């Protein structure tokens, strides 16, 4: 199996990036990833302000998928996520929702063992491994790996984990898929500016889909279908995710505009992914029971 190591990584999703590796549609590939700090934090004595910011949010890759052409959709099946033995958290003035309350910076290293992330002597939380940064190259100018958008990127969606399938746009030849910024566990919103940031290994299967009409980024797991949208404000991100799901219901399930809107008010769940990046990200969740009732099969 092809493995892409962390010595090949980027800090922008960019059509000009040199491919780290090549794969065929349908291949299984492993991505070794650093944490969002590039492995710089090794002690709780270190502080966020002392880090080299040129190393923040590295994404391993990019992977060139042969046959993937502009206008296609890249199907990324997340088969497994393996985590390192510890994660890292930081905070400080101006960072996250609580940044205005903080007078100094702090760092926490969290052991990961027996399926739990140890927060302190009283609290430990079950692992929910997820991919924070995953995307393809945009058609125009490159986009920093810390910023989400229509190409994917730093969406920080807690549902992007093992067993889920992410559909991304192909804007350039080969798609140029890259990923990183794993979290051992994180709450929706990422309100403190980070989750339990951690290194690891992600195994995915990549397939180039021709003639696929899904609004991207689009995420599916066993129970839920989700549209993901990023924008300058939470309001705009919420609106974008909702309208994308509304369009899916009309185009793919054949619903009228009224019926699709009413369904989303009954069964849709609008959720915040993150509110701390340059663009905010929201998702609209719809139970798979809806698509199954219409005998709709995802590619």
Burial class (CB in 10 A: 0-12, 13-18, 19+), 30: middle
Do residues 151 and 234 make contact, with C-beta atoms less than 8 angstroms apart? no
The dihedrals phi and psi of 198, each to the nearest 5 degrees, come to: -155, 150
Handedness of CA 286, 287, 292, 294 (dihedral sign): negative
- Written as tens digits, the pLDDT of the chain (299 aa) is 999 999 999 999 999 999 999 999 999 999 999 999 999 999 999 898 889 988 999 999 999 999 999 999 999 999 999 999 999 999 999 999 999 999 999 999 999 999 999 999 999 999 999 999 999 999 999 999 999 999 999 999 999 999 999 999 999 999 999 999 999 999 999 999 999 999 999 999 999 999 999 999 999 999 999 999 999 999 999 999 999 999 999 999 999 999 999 999 999 999 999 999 999 999 999 999 999 999 999 99
Domain at 218-293: CATH architecture: Roll (3.10)
CB 74 within 8 A of CB 136: yes
N residues, the chain: 299
Cα atoms found within 13 Å of the Cα of residue 96, Cβ hemisphere only: 16
The CATH homologous superfamily for domain 2-209 is Acetamidase/Formamidase-like domains (2.60.120.580)
Domain residue ranges of the chain, discontinuous segments joined by +: 2-209, 218-293
- DSSP-derived letter for residue 192 is T
Pairing of strands 165-169, 73-83: antiparallel
User: Diameter of the chain by CA atoms?
Assistant: 58
Helices and strands (H and E) in the chain: how many: 3, 22
Angle at the Cα of 10 from the Cα atoms of 280 and 45, rounded to 5 degrees:
75
């Amino acid at each position: 199996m092809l493995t892409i190591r962390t010595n090949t990584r980027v800090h922008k999703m960019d059509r000009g990036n040199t491919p780290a590796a090549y794969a065929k549609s349908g291949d299984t590939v492993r991505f070794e990833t650093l944490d969002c700090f590039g492995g710089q934090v090794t002690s709780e004595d270190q502080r966020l302000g002392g880090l080299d910011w040129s190393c923040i949010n590295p994404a391993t890759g990019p992977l060139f998928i042969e046959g993937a052409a502009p206008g296609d959709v890249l199907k990324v099946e997340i088969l497994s996520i393996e985590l390192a033995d510890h994660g890292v958290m930081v905070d400080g003035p101006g960072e996250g929702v609580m940044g205005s309350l903080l007078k100094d910076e702090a760092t926490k290293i969290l052991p990961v063992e027996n399926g739990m992330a140890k927060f302190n002597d009283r609290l430990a939380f079950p692992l929910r491994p997820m991919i924070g940064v995953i995307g393809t190259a945009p058609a125009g100018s490159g986009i920093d790996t810390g910023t989400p958008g229509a190409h994917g990127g730093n969406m920080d969606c807690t549902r992007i984990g093992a067993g889920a399938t992410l559909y991304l746009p192909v804007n350039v030849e080969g798609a140029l898929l890259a990923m990183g910024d794993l979290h051992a566990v994180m709450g929706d919103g990422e309100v403190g500016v980070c989750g339990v940031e951690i290194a690891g290994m992600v195994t995915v299967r990549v397939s180039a889909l021709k003639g696929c009409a899904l609004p991207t980024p689009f995420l599916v797991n066993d129970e839920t279908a989700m549209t993901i949208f990023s924008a300058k404000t939470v309001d705009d991100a919420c609106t974008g995710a909702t309208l994308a799901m509304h369009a899916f219901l009309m185009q793919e399930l054949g619903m009228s505009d009224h019926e699709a809107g009413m369904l989303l008010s009954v069964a849709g769940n609008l959720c915040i992914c993150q509110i701390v990046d340059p663009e905010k990200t929201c998702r609209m969740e719809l139970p798979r029971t809806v698509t199954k009732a219409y005998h709709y099969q995802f590619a």
